[in-house]
Homo-oligomer: A and B are copies of this chain.
Amino acid sequence: MPFIPHTEEDVKEMLASIGASSIEELFDEIPSDLKTGALTRVPPGMSEMEISRLMLERAQADGFYLSFIGAGAYEHHIPAAVWQITTRGEFYSSYTPYQAEASQGTLQLLYEYQTMMASLTGMDVSNASLYDGATALAEAALMAVRQHKTSRRILVPRTVHPVYRKVLSAIVRNQDIEVVEIPFCPESGQVLLEHLEPFGQEDFAALVIPQPNFFGVLEQVDAMTDWAHAKHSSVIAAVNPMSLAMLVPPGEWGAQGADIAVGEGQPLGIPLSSGGPYFGFMTCKHDLVRQMPGRIIGRTVDLDNKPGFVLTLQAREQHIRRSKATSNICTNQGLMVTAATIYMSLLGPEGLRQVAAQSHANMLQLAEQLEQLPGVKRVYSGPCFHEVALTLPGPVNEILQALKEQGILGGLNLQEHYPELENALLVCTTETKTADDLNKYSEMLGKILKKYG
Protein backbone atom coordinates (compact mmCIF):
# COMPACT_ATOMS: atom_id res chain seq x y z
CA MET A 1 0.00 0.00 0.00
CA PRO A 2 1.76 3.13 -1.15
CA PHE A 3 2.50 5.39 1.80
CA ILE A 4 0.37 3.42 4.24
CA PRO A 5 2.50 1.75 6.91
CA HIS A 6 -0.03 -0.60 8.47
CA THR A 7 0.77 -4.27 8.76
CA GLU A 8 -1.99 -6.82 9.03
CA GLU A 9 -1.17 -7.22 12.68
CA ASP A 10 -1.37 -3.48 13.25
CA VAL A 11 -4.84 -3.44 11.74
CA LYS A 12 -5.97 -6.28 13.94
CA GLU A 13 -4.72 -4.65 17.11
CA MET A 14 -6.18 -1.30 16.19
CA LEU A 15 -9.60 -2.70 15.38
CA ALA A 16 -9.54 -4.58 18.68
CA SER A 17 -8.87 -1.37 20.55
CA ILE A 18 -11.69 0.37 18.72
CA GLY A 19 -13.99 -2.58 19.14
CA ALA A 20 -14.75 -2.95 15.47
CA SER A 21 -14.50 -6.10 13.45
CA SER A 22 -13.35 -4.57 10.20
CA ILE A 23 -12.26 -1.31 8.70
CA GLU A 24 -15.46 -1.30 6.68
CA GLU A 25 -17.42 -1.23 9.93
CA LEU A 26 -15.90 2.19 10.69
CA PHE A 27 -17.97 3.55 7.84
CA ASP A 28 -21.23 2.25 9.27
CA GLU A 29 -22.65 5.70 9.83
CA ILE A 30 -22.67 6.36 6.12
CA PRO A 31 -26.04 5.38 4.65
CA SER A 32 -25.41 2.38 2.47
CA ASP A 33 -27.19 3.84 -0.51
CA LEU A 34 -24.53 6.51 -0.65
CA LYS A 35 -21.61 4.11 -0.87
CA THR A 36 -19.65 4.44 -4.04
CA GLY A 37 -19.51 1.77 -6.66
CA ALA A 38 -16.39 1.16 -8.63
CA LEU A 39 -14.29 4.06 -9.79
CA THR A 40 -14.16 3.63 -13.52
CA ARG A 41 -11.84 6.34 -14.69
CA VAL A 42 -9.04 6.02 -12.14
CA PRO A 43 -6.32 3.83 -13.63
CA PRO A 44 -4.55 1.13 -11.62
CA GLY A 45 -1.67 2.29 -9.46
CA MET A 46 1.80 2.64 -10.88
CA SER A 47 5.10 2.15 -9.15
CA GLU A 48 7.34 5.15 -8.71
CA MET A 49 9.54 3.67 -11.41
CA GLU A 50 6.67 3.51 -13.87
CA ILE A 51 5.32 6.99 -13.27
CA SER A 52 8.85 8.38 -13.37
CA ARG A 53 9.36 6.98 -16.80
CA LEU A 54 6.01 8.25 -18.02
CA MET A 55 6.67 11.76 -16.72
CA LEU A 56 10.19 11.80 -18.12
CA GLU A 57 8.85 10.82 -21.51
CA ARG A 58 6.20 13.51 -21.38
CA ALA A 59 8.72 16.12 -20.32
CA GLN A 60 11.02 15.05 -23.14
CA ALA A 61 8.17 15.33 -25.58
CA ASP A 62 7.54 18.90 -24.48
CA GLY A 63 11.19 19.78 -24.95
CA PHE A 64 13.02 23.09 -24.73
CA TYR A 65 12.63 26.20 -26.86
CA LEU A 66 14.41 29.51 -27.25
CA SER A 67 11.59 31.63 -25.95
CA PHE A 68 10.85 35.33 -26.39
CA ILE A 69 7.43 35.18 -24.78
CA GLY A 70 6.84 37.38 -21.75
CA ALA A 71 3.39 38.89 -21.23
CA GLY A 72 3.38 38.50 -17.48
CA ALA A 73 5.63 35.47 -16.97
CA TYR A 74 9.35 35.87 -17.41
CA GLU A 75 12.25 33.51 -17.88
CA HIS A 76 15.05 34.55 -15.56
CA HIS A 77 18.04 32.57 -14.38
CA ILE A 78 17.30 30.99 -11.00
CA PRO A 79 20.38 30.21 -8.90
CA ALA A 80 20.67 26.52 -8.10
CA ALA A 81 20.70 27.23 -4.38
CA VAL A 82 17.18 28.66 -4.47
CA TRP A 83 15.22 25.47 -5.01
CA GLN A 84 17.70 23.13 -3.37
CA ILE A 85 16.98 24.99 -0.13
CA THR A 86 13.32 25.69 -0.80
CA THR A 87 12.53 22.01 -1.26
CA ARG A 88 14.18 20.99 2.00
CA GLY A 89 11.56 19.01 3.90
CA GLU A 90 11.42 21.57 6.70
CA PHE A 91 10.13 24.22 4.29
CA TYR A 92 8.39 21.97 1.78
CA SER A 93 6.34 19.85 4.16
CA SER A 94 5.59 22.27 6.98
CA TYR A 95 2.16 23.75 7.67
CA THR A 96 1.05 27.34 8.00
CA PRO A 97 3.02 28.72 10.95
CA TYR A 98 0.14 28.93 13.41
CA GLN A 99 2.30 27.35 16.12
CA ALA A 100 4.87 30.09 16.17
CA GLU A 101 7.35 28.39 18.48
CA ALA A 102 7.57 25.45 16.07
CA SER A 103 7.71 27.62 12.95
CA GLN A 104 10.34 30.27 13.48
CA GLY A 105 12.08 29.26 10.28
CA THR A 106 9.14 30.07 8.05
CA LEU A 107 8.06 33.06 10.13
CA GLN A 108 11.43 34.77 10.13
CA LEU A 109 11.79 34.15 6.42
CA LEU A 110 8.40 35.74 5.78
CA TYR A 111 9.34 38.76 7.88
CA GLU A 112 12.49 39.13 5.80
CA TYR A 113 10.38 38.80 2.67
CA GLN A 114 8.02 41.53 3.85
CA THR A 115 10.99 43.79 4.47
CA MET A 116 12.43 43.16 1.02
CA MET A 117 9.15 43.67 -0.81
CA ALA A 118 8.29 46.83 1.09
CA SER A 119 11.67 48.26 0.19
CA LEU A 120 11.57 47.10 -3.42
CA THR A 121 8.21 48.79 -3.94
CA GLY A 122 9.05 51.75 -1.74
CA MET A 123 6.06 51.08 0.51
CA ASP A 124 5.70 50.76 4.28
CA VAL A 125 4.34 47.27 4.77
CA SER A 126 3.85 44.02 2.90
CA ASN A 127 1.72 40.98 3.42
CA ALA A 128 3.16 37.47 3.16
CA SER A 129 1.87 37.03 -0.43
CA LEU A 130 -1.35 36.26 -2.29
CA TYR A 131 -2.17 33.71 -4.99
CA ASP A 132 -0.82 35.47 -8.05
CA GLY A 133 -0.48 38.86 -9.66
CA ALA A 134 -3.97 38.88 -11.15
CA THR A 135 -5.79 38.05 -7.92
CA ALA A 136 -3.52 40.44 -6.01
CA LEU A 137 -4.81 43.20 -8.26
CA ALA A 138 -8.40 42.18 -7.53
CA GLU A 139 -7.71 42.13 -3.79
CA ALA A 140 -6.17 45.58 -4.07
CA ALA A 141 -9.31 46.84 -5.76
CA LEU A 142 -11.49 45.39 -2.98
CA MET A 143 -9.17 46.96 -0.44
CA ALA A 144 -9.41 50.35 -2.09
CA VAL A 145 -13.19 50.12 -2.12
CA ARG A 146 -13.23 49.22 1.57
CA GLN A 147 -11.05 52.25 2.25
CA HIS A 148 -12.98 54.65 0.04
CA LYS A 149 -16.27 55.21 1.72
CA THR A 150 -18.31 56.60 -1.15
CA SER A 151 -17.34 55.04 -4.45
CA ARG A 152 -17.25 51.48 -5.78
CA ARG A 153 -15.71 52.44 -9.13
CA ILE A 154 -12.20 51.35 -10.12
CA LEU A 155 -10.47 52.92 -13.11
CA VAL A 156 -8.38 50.44 -15.04
CA PRO A 157 -6.44 51.36 -18.17
CA ARG A 158 -6.56 49.01 -21.12
CA THR A 159 -2.78 48.90 -20.90
CA VAL A 160 -3.14 46.66 -17.85
CA HIS A 161 -2.58 42.95 -18.58
CA PRO A 162 -5.80 41.81 -20.30
CA VAL A 163 -6.13 38.65 -18.22
CA TYR A 164 -5.59 40.60 -15.03
CA ARG A 165 -8.51 42.76 -16.07
CA LYS A 166 -10.64 39.68 -16.67
CA VAL A 167 -9.77 38.23 -13.27
CA LEU A 168 -10.42 41.57 -11.61
CA SER A 169 -13.83 41.78 -13.21
CA ALA A 170 -14.74 38.23 -12.35
CA ILE A 171 -13.88 38.71 -8.69
CA VAL A 172 -15.34 42.15 -8.01
CA ARG A 173 -18.44 41.67 -10.13
CA ASN A 174 -20.39 40.07 -7.32
CA GLN A 175 -19.70 42.92 -4.94
CA ASP A 176 -21.27 45.54 -7.15
CA ILE A 177 -17.97 47.10 -7.96
CA GLU A 178 -17.70 48.79 -11.32
CA VAL A 179 -14.54 48.38 -13.35
CA VAL A 180 -14.13 51.27 -15.79
CA GLU A 181 -11.74 50.85 -18.68
CA ILE A 182 -9.48 53.74 -19.61
CA PRO A 183 -8.25 54.01 -23.19
CA PHE A 184 -4.64 54.71 -24.13
CA CYS A 185 -2.72 56.63 -26.71
CA PRO A 186 -2.31 54.55 -29.86
CA GLU A 187 0.94 56.32 -30.71
CA SER A 188 2.85 56.17 -27.47
CA GLY A 189 1.15 53.10 -25.98
CA GLN A 190 0.64 55.02 -22.73
CA VAL A 191 -2.29 56.41 -20.80
CA LEU A 192 -2.15 60.19 -21.05
CA LEU A 193 -3.92 62.65 -18.79
CA GLU A 194 -6.32 63.39 -21.61
CA HIS A 195 -7.51 59.78 -21.45
CA LEU A 196 -8.08 60.00 -17.73
CA GLU A 197 -9.89 63.29 -17.54
CA PRO A 198 -13.29 62.14 -18.86
CA PHE A 199 -13.44 59.48 -16.14
CA GLY A 200 -12.52 61.79 -13.30
CA GLN A 201 -15.79 63.66 -13.30
CA GLU A 202 -17.37 61.09 -11.11
CA ASP A 203 -16.09 59.76 -7.77
CA PHE A 204 -13.85 56.67 -8.02
CA ALA A 205 -12.16 54.52 -5.39
CA ALA A 206 -8.91 53.89 -7.18
CA LEU A 207 -6.91 54.18 -10.33
CA VAL A 208 -4.78 51.23 -11.36
CA ILE A 209 -1.42 52.14 -12.91
CA PRO A 210 0.59 49.41 -14.62
CA GLN A 211 4.37 49.81 -14.79
CA PRO A 212 5.58 48.65 -17.24
CA ASN A 213 2.27 48.19 -18.97
CA PHE A 214 1.23 45.14 -20.96
CA PHE A 215 3.02 46.42 -24.06
CA GLY A 216 6.24 46.77 -22.09
CA VAL A 217 5.82 50.53 -22.26
CA LEU A 218 6.53 52.75 -19.27
CA GLU A 219 3.58 54.82 -18.10
CA GLN A 220 3.82 58.42 -16.92
CA VAL A 221 3.29 57.31 -13.38
CA ASP A 222 3.94 60.61 -11.60
CA ALA A 223 1.28 62.51 -13.48
CA MET A 224 -1.23 59.69 -13.20
CA THR A 225 -0.66 59.29 -9.47
CA ASP A 226 -1.01 62.96 -8.75
CA TRP A 227 -4.14 63.15 -10.89
CA ALA A 228 -5.82 60.36 -8.93
CA HIS A 229 -4.78 61.74 -5.58
CA ALA A 230 -6.14 65.10 -6.56
CA LYS A 231 -9.47 63.33 -6.95
CA HIS A 232 -9.16 61.84 -3.45
CA SER A 233 -8.79 58.38 -4.81
CA SER A 234 -6.28 55.66 -4.16
CA VAL A 235 -3.57 54.63 -6.57
CA ILE A 236 -2.96 50.94 -7.10
CA ALA A 237 0.35 50.23 -8.74
CA ALA A 238 0.56 47.00 -10.75
CA VAL A 239 4.26 46.45 -11.24
CA ASN A 240 6.82 43.92 -12.39
CA PRO A 241 9.04 43.58 -9.32
CA MET A 242 12.14 42.96 -11.41
CA SER A 243 11.67 46.29 -13.18
CA LEU A 244 11.80 48.05 -9.82
CA ALA A 245 15.53 47.44 -9.66
CA MET A 246 15.64 50.03 -12.41
CA LEU A 247 12.48 52.09 -12.11
CA VAL A 248 11.12 54.51 -9.54
CA PRO A 249 9.20 52.39 -7.03
CA PRO A 250 5.45 52.97 -6.57
CA GLY A 251 6.00 54.44 -3.13
CA GLU A 252 7.72 57.38 -4.81
CA TRP A 253 5.31 57.99 -7.66
CA GLY A 254 4.09 61.56 -7.81
CA ALA A 255 3.97 63.73 -4.76
CA GLN A 256 2.65 61.14 -2.34
CA GLY A 257 3.38 57.77 -3.89
CA ALA A 258 0.96 55.03 -4.75
CA ASP A 259 -1.20 53.68 -1.94
CA ILE A 260 -1.06 50.01 -2.79
CA ALA A 261 1.42 48.12 -4.94
CA VAL A 262 0.71 44.67 -6.29
CA GLY A 263 2.13 42.41 -8.91
CA GLU A 264 3.28 39.01 -9.97
CA GLY A 265 6.25 37.76 -7.95
CA GLN A 266 7.20 35.10 -10.47
CA PRO A 267 10.20 36.97 -11.90
CA LEU A 268 11.87 36.68 -8.48
CA GLY A 269 13.09 33.11 -8.66
CA ILE A 270 9.98 31.19 -9.63
CA PRO A 271 10.14 28.85 -12.64
CA LEU A 272 7.70 29.39 -15.50
CA SER A 273 6.10 25.95 -14.98
CA SER A 274 3.25 26.40 -17.42
CA GLY A 275 1.85 29.21 -15.31
CA GLY A 276 2.13 28.37 -11.67
CA PRO A 277 2.44 28.20 -8.82
CA TYR A 278 3.60 31.80 -8.76
CA PHE A 279 2.79 34.34 -6.09
CA GLY A 280 1.13 37.71 -5.89
CA PHE A 281 2.70 40.37 -3.75
CA MET A 282 0.98 43.29 -2.08
CA THR A 283 2.50 46.20 -0.24
CA CYS A 284 0.85 49.36 0.98
CA LYS A 285 1.11 52.51 3.01
CA HIS A 286 1.04 52.04 6.73
CA ASP A 287 -2.43 53.45 7.26
CA LEU A 288 -3.93 50.76 5.01
CA VAL A 289 -2.41 47.80 6.83
CA ARG A 290 -5.61 46.78 8.60
CA GLN A 291 -7.41 46.67 5.24
CA MET A 292 -4.81 44.39 3.74
CA PRO A 293 -5.88 40.79 3.04
CA GLY A 294 -3.67 37.77 3.56
CA ARG A 295 -1.20 36.76 6.20
CA ILE A 296 1.07 39.25 7.88
CA ILE A 297 4.06 38.44 10.08
CA GLY A 298 5.13 40.62 12.98
CA ARG A 299 8.19 40.69 15.16
CA THR A 300 7.62 40.39 18.89
CA VAL A 301 9.35 38.82 21.89
CA ASP A 302 8.97 35.62 23.89
CA LEU A 303 8.58 35.23 27.65
CA ASP A 304 12.33 35.71 28.04
CA ASN A 305 12.20 38.85 25.92
CA LYS A 306 14.02 37.16 23.06
CA PRO A 307 12.94 38.38 19.64
CA GLY A 308 10.72 36.11 17.60
CA PHE A 309 8.05 36.16 14.93
CA VAL A 310 4.32 35.47 14.82
CA LEU A 311 1.34 35.75 12.52
CA THR A 312 -0.26 39.01 13.45
CA LEU A 313 -3.35 41.11 12.76
CA GLN A 314 -5.25 37.84 12.51
CA ALA A 315 -8.37 39.71 13.51
CA ARG A 316 -8.70 40.62 9.81
CA GLU A 317 -8.80 36.99 8.77
CA GLN A 318 -11.59 34.61 7.96
CA HIS A 319 -10.81 32.01 10.61
CA ILE A 320 -11.44 34.66 13.28
CA ARG A 321 -13.79 37.12 11.61
CA ARG A 322 -15.68 34.63 9.44
CA SER A 323 -18.23 36.59 7.39
CA LYS A 324 -16.67 39.92 8.44
CA ALA A 325 -13.14 39.12 7.26
CA THR A 326 -11.24 41.43 4.88
CA SER A 327 -11.08 38.54 2.42
CA ASN A 328 -11.81 34.84 2.27
CA ILE A 329 -8.14 34.10 1.64
CA CYS A 330 -6.54 31.75 4.11
CA THR A 331 -3.30 30.75 2.47
CA ASN A 332 -0.38 32.56 1.01
CA GLN A 333 2.02 31.01 -1.49
CA GLY A 334 4.53 30.23 1.25
CA LEU A 335 6.89 28.00 -0.65
CA MET A 336 7.11 30.43 -3.56
CA VAL A 337 7.90 33.24 -1.17
CA THR A 338 10.59 31.06 0.36
CA ALA A 339 12.17 30.77 -3.06
CA ALA A 340 11.77 34.47 -3.81
CA THR A 341 13.35 35.49 -0.52
CA ILE A 342 16.36 33.27 -1.13
CA TYR A 343 16.52 34.55 -4.70
CA MET A 344 16.55 38.19 -3.64
CA SER A 345 19.15 37.41 -0.97
CA LEU A 346 21.42 35.68 -3.45
CA LEU A 347 21.21 38.47 -5.99
CA GLY A 348 21.20 41.42 -3.66
CA PRO A 349 20.47 44.93 -4.87
CA GLU A 350 23.31 44.98 -7.37
CA GLY A 351 22.47 41.57 -8.80
CA LEU A 352 18.85 42.56 -9.29
CA ARG A 353 19.92 45.81 -10.94
CA GLN A 354 22.09 43.85 -13.35
CA VAL A 355 19.33 41.47 -14.29
CA ALA A 356 16.99 44.37 -14.98
CA ALA A 357 19.61 46.34 -16.89
CA GLN A 358 20.60 43.38 -19.05
CA SER A 359 17.00 42.48 -19.78
CA HIS A 360 16.35 46.06 -20.85
CA ALA A 361 19.51 46.31 -22.94
CA ASN A 362 18.71 43.05 -24.69
CA MET A 363 15.27 44.37 -25.57
CA LEU A 364 16.78 47.51 -27.11
CA GLN A 365 19.32 45.45 -29.01
CA LEU A 366 16.77 43.00 -30.36
CA ALA A 367 14.33 45.75 -31.30
CA GLU A 368 17.10 47.52 -33.16
CA GLN A 369 18.00 44.37 -35.06
CA LEU A 370 14.42 43.46 -35.87
CA GLU A 371 13.51 46.97 -36.96
CA GLN A 372 16.11 46.63 -39.66
CA LEU A 373 14.05 43.89 -41.25
CA PRO A 374 11.72 45.17 -43.94
CA GLY A 375 8.22 45.76 -42.68
CA VAL A 376 9.09 45.42 -39.00
CA LYS A 377 8.54 48.42 -36.81
CA ARG A 378 7.74 49.31 -33.25
CA VAL A 379 4.05 49.78 -32.58
CA TYR A 380 4.53 52.38 -29.82
CA SER A 381 6.88 55.26 -29.26
CA GLY A 382 6.91 55.12 -25.46
CA PRO A 383 10.03 53.90 -23.66
CA CYS A 384 10.07 50.20 -22.84
CA PHE A 385 11.51 48.02 -20.12
CA HIS A 386 12.12 44.52 -21.47
CA GLU A 387 9.18 43.95 -23.78
CA VAL A 388 8.32 45.63 -27.02
CA ALA A 389 5.37 45.49 -29.39
CA LEU A 390 6.33 45.14 -33.05
CA THR A 391 4.31 45.26 -36.23
CA LEU A 392 5.18 42.52 -38.69
CA PRO A 393 4.61 42.51 -42.43
CA GLY A 394 2.48 39.39 -42.28
CA PRO A 395 0.11 37.34 -40.12
CA VAL A 396 1.62 36.81 -36.71
CA ASN A 397 0.42 33.28 -36.09
CA GLU A 398 1.85 32.06 -39.36
CA ILE A 399 5.19 33.70 -38.63
CA LEU A 400 5.26 32.35 -35.09
CA GLN A 401 4.62 28.89 -36.46
CA ALA A 402 7.56 29.21 -38.82
CA LEU A 403 9.79 30.41 -35.98
CA LYS A 404 8.68 27.52 -33.78
CA GLU A 405 9.83 25.07 -36.39
CA GLN A 406 13.28 26.58 -35.88
CA GLY A 407 13.02 26.08 -32.12
CA ILE A 408 12.09 29.68 -31.41
CA LEU A 409 9.00 30.88 -29.57
CA GLY A 410 8.83 34.35 -31.03
CA GLY A 411 6.42 36.11 -28.71
CA LEU A 412 2.73 36.70 -28.17
CA ASN A 413 0.22 37.62 -30.84
CA LEU A 414 -1.26 40.86 -29.50
CA GLN A 415 -4.38 40.61 -31.56
CA GLU A 416 -5.65 37.86 -29.28
CA HIS A 417 -6.27 40.54 -26.68
CA TYR A 418 -6.39 43.75 -28.76
CA PRO A 419 -8.44 43.13 -31.91
CA GLU A 420 -7.34 46.47 -33.30
CA LEU A 421 -3.68 45.44 -33.30
CA GLU A 422 -3.30 43.55 -36.51
CA ASN A 423 -0.01 41.80 -37.19
CA ALA A 424 1.35 42.94 -33.85
CA LEU A 425 3.71 40.84 -31.81
CA LEU A 426 4.80 41.29 -28.19
CA VAL A 427 8.44 40.27 -27.79
CA CYS A 428 10.32 39.91 -24.53
CA THR A 429 13.99 39.59 -23.69
CA THR A 430 15.42 38.85 -20.28
CA GLU A 431 19.03 38.56 -19.15
CA THR A 432 18.97 34.91 -20.24
CA LYS A 433 19.29 35.89 -23.89
CA THR A 434 22.77 36.10 -25.36
CA ALA A 435 23.91 38.07 -28.38
CA ASP A 436 23.83 34.77 -30.28
CA ASP A 437 20.23 34.25 -29.29
CA LEU A 438 19.25 37.70 -30.50
CA ASN A 439 21.10 37.13 -33.76
CA LYS A 440 19.48 33.78 -34.22
CA TYR A 441 16.06 35.36 -33.77
CA SER A 442 16.66 38.24 -36.14
CA GLU A 443 18.25 36.02 -38.78
CA MET A 444 15.46 33.48 -38.66
CA LEU A 445 12.80 36.12 -38.71
CA GLY A 446 14.58 37.80 -41.62
CA LYS A 447 14.47 34.56 -43.59
CA ILE A 448 10.83 33.94 -42.79
CA LEU A 449 9.77 37.48 -43.65
CA LYS A 450 11.27 37.22 -47.15
CA LYS A 451 8.00 35.56 -48.05
CA TYR A 452 6.10 38.73 -47.15
CA GLY A 453 8.64 41.13 -48.66
Contact = CB atoms under 8 A, between A and B. Distances in A.
Interface of A: 47-49, 52-53, 56, 60, 64, 77, 79-80, 84, 87-88, 431-432
Nearest to A92: B84
Nearest to A81: B48
A158 B49 CA distance: 35
A392 B146 CA distance: 81
A49 B431 contact: yes
A68 to B, nearest CB: 16
Given A48-B80, A84-B87, A88-B88, 6 more contacts: A48-B79, A49-B431, A49-B432, A52-B80, A53-B432, A60-B64
A305 to B, nearest CB: 30
Number of identical monomers bound together in the oligomeric complex: 2
Given A84-B87, A87-B84, A88-B88, A49 B64 contact: no
A77 B60 contact: no
Contacts of A77: 47-49, 52
Contacts of A432: 49, 53
Nearest to A49: B77
Contacts of A64: 56, 60
A87 B87 CA distance: 11
Nearest to A80: B48
A430 to B, nearest CB: 10
9 contacts: A47-B77, A48-B77, A49-B77, A49-B432, A52-B77, A52-B80, A60-B64, A84-B87, A88-B88
Contacts of A49: 77, 431-432
Contacts of A79: 48
Contacts of A431: 49
A79 B3 CA distance: 13
A80 B53 CA distance: 12
Nearest to A354: B47
Nearest to A431: B49
A438 to B, nearest CB: 15
Nearest to A56: B64
Contacts of A56: 64
A53 B430 CA distance: 14
Contacts of A47: 77
Nearest to A88: B88
A84 B89 CA distance: 9
Which among A49, A77, A88, A432 has the greatest number of chain B C-beta atoms within 10 A? Answer: A49
Contacts of A53: 432
A77 B48 CA distance: 8
A49 B47 CA distance: 35
A432 B432 CA distance: 37
A64 B87 CA distance: 26
A79 B52 CA distance: 9
Contacts of A87: 84
A201 B85 CA distance: 62
Nearest to A77: B49
A60 B60 CA distance: 10
Contacts of A88: 88
A47 B351 CA distance: 11
A214 B87 CA distance: 41
Nearest to A87: B84
A65 to B, nearest CB: 12
Nearest to A346: B48
A47 B431 CA distance: 12
Nearest to A47: B77
Question: What are the 7 A-B residue pairs with the smallest beta carbon separation, nearest first?
Answer: A49-B77, A48-B79, A88-B88, A49-B432, A52-B77, A48-B80, A48-B77
A56 B432 CA distance: 13
A209 B47 CA distance: 35
A333 B80 CA distance: 24
A209 to B, nearest CB: 32
A431 B52 CA distance: 13
A47 B355 CA distance: 12
A80 B47 CA distance: 12
Contacts of A84: 87
A16 to B, nearest CB: 26
